[in-house]
Homo-oligomer: A and B are copies of this chain.
Amino acid sequence: MERQIDVEIRELKDLILAMGCCVEKSIEEATQALILREPDRFKKVYELEKTINEHHILVDEACVRILARQSPLAADLRWIVATIKINTDLERMGDQAVNISHNGERYLTEPALKPLIDLPRMASEVRQMVRSCLDAFVRKDLALAEQVLQQDDVVDQLKNEILDELKAFMARDPQSISRALNLILIARNLERLGDHATNIAEDVIYALTGKDIRHGHS
């Protein structure tokens, strides 16, 4: 027979998954709006943020309720503690999609600064990381969580290259400063999304193994 705590943890997992879907959709809309120059898509990001914020509160409430009623231990307790943290990261990923949208809206008021450099590739890498950390969480897939940690290095490298190229752009053509700066800020937003996905992967590893691998600790 299924334990009551298993039922509640399953419901909590569904809630996090629904929230994760909104976050993925939100990042997709924000980055595609920018790449395809379709500013209407930014509106969807602002709508999705509301749903993400509602889930943020619901997930925390559910975690506290399970802790109070079920006094979970060992793997169950680790899972709840990891979920509290994953919830925070997902909410802040929603904020970053909103930041991309604000910077993107400003960027799209002016003619395209071509090329978009490697931003589309960076966006694609980050979206892959977000998908993988959520999949690792759902499938309890340790290897996939560890893979996310590697991908973060690629994203950081791309960000550095993009920053250098955009700085050179600004120096060559002062007319491009405002647009290049918006793209720099967007690259930073994407980098932070990658950091949040990394945090989630670390939390999944902790939930599955009990090992805290942050800061090179084990």
Binding site for B on A (CB under 8 A): 53-54, 56-57, 60-61, 63-64, 67-68, 71, 73-74, 77-78, 81, 84-85, 88, 167, 170-171, 174, 177-178, 181, 184-185, 188, 212, 214-215, 217
Question: Which of B53, B61, B67, B188 is in CB contact (< 8 Å) with A188?
Answer: B188
Q: In the complex the two chains form, is B167's CB within 8 Å of A53's CB?
A: no
* Copies of this chain present: 2
Known contacts A84-B85, A167-B178, A170-B174: does B64 contact A77 (CB below 8 Å)? yes
Ranked nearest first, the 3 interchain pairs of A and B with the lowest CB-CB distance are A53-B215, A71-B71, A170-B177
Beta-carbon nearest neighbor of A166 in chain B = B181
Main secondary structure, interface of A, reads helix
A64 to B174, CA, bound (A): 54
Taking CB atoms, residues of chain B closer than 8 Å to A215 are 53-54, 56-57
Known contacts A184-B181, A215-B53: does B81 contact A77 (CB below 8 Å)? no
Least CB distance from A71 to B in Å reads 4
Q: In the complex the two chains form, is B57's CB within 8 Å of A217's CB?
A: yes
Taking CB atoms, residues of chain B closer than 8 Å to A63 are 81
A61 to B181, CA, bound (A): 41
- Which among A167, A170, A217 has the highest number of chain B CB atoms within 10 Å? A170
Q: In the complex the two chains form, is B188's CB within 8 Å of A167's CB?
A: no
A54 to B212, CA, bound (A): 11
Taking CB atoms, residues of chain B closer than 8 Å to A81 are 60, 63-64, 67, 84
Q: In the complex the two chains form, is A214's CB within 8 Å of B53's CB?
A: yes
